[in-house]
Chain A
Amino acid sequence: GQNIDQPTEMTATEGAIVQINCTYQTSGFNGLFWYQQHAGEAPTFLSYNVLDGLEEKGRFSSFLSRSKGYSYLLLKELQMKDSASYLCAVRDEEDSSYKLIFGSGTRLLVRP
């Protein structure tokens, strides 16, 4: 079956570092995405990993281990505006389509 797990909620302090984990079991794999979604808004793209290792993009980094079915999103120098849901999604390639399988999201609360 298809399954993506991530913690439901996390709390962190402004200026700190937080790591949001994601584990997945899918029938196919051609990339893992992280999206940020503020309440009532559309998901916005943060990062993409298709090979093992770390991808860094400013304050955000994402790591992938395909053998372990594991990824994490690292947010540094947290700001209040980082309070949002973070969605882990796997691209499941079947019949050359482009289907994203999402986890339920991790609600991050950044406190002063």
Chain B
Amino acid sequence: SQTIHQWPATLVQPVGSPLSLECTVEGTSNPNLYWYRQAAGRGLQLLFYSVGIGQISSEVPQNLSASRPQDRQFILSSKKLLLSDSGFYLCAWSVTVGYEQYFGPGTRLTVT
């Protein structure tokens, strides 16, 4: 069966510090991968998606970047965090477009 992991689970970082969140998927090959952000009391906003190694598409221009160095690894990064980067970050995968996405446990980021 497929599983998706995210770490860390929680993170408190000062403004201006770098960020690296990691997501890995097990039990499937060449998945579509996604990064979402959920602000408090809000819906989910798609940040990045990837259909293959090295292929990253950005939905919303911002202070973040993503990379996919391996087939089942997806990394969300920032060089300098802003207060507005605080939120709940969710990684997801799907077999193909149009199909359901399966989400990881999420990382709760607080920028102070």
Q: Do A and B bind each other?
A: no
Residues of chain A touching chain B, judged by Cβ–Cβ distance below 8 Å, are: none
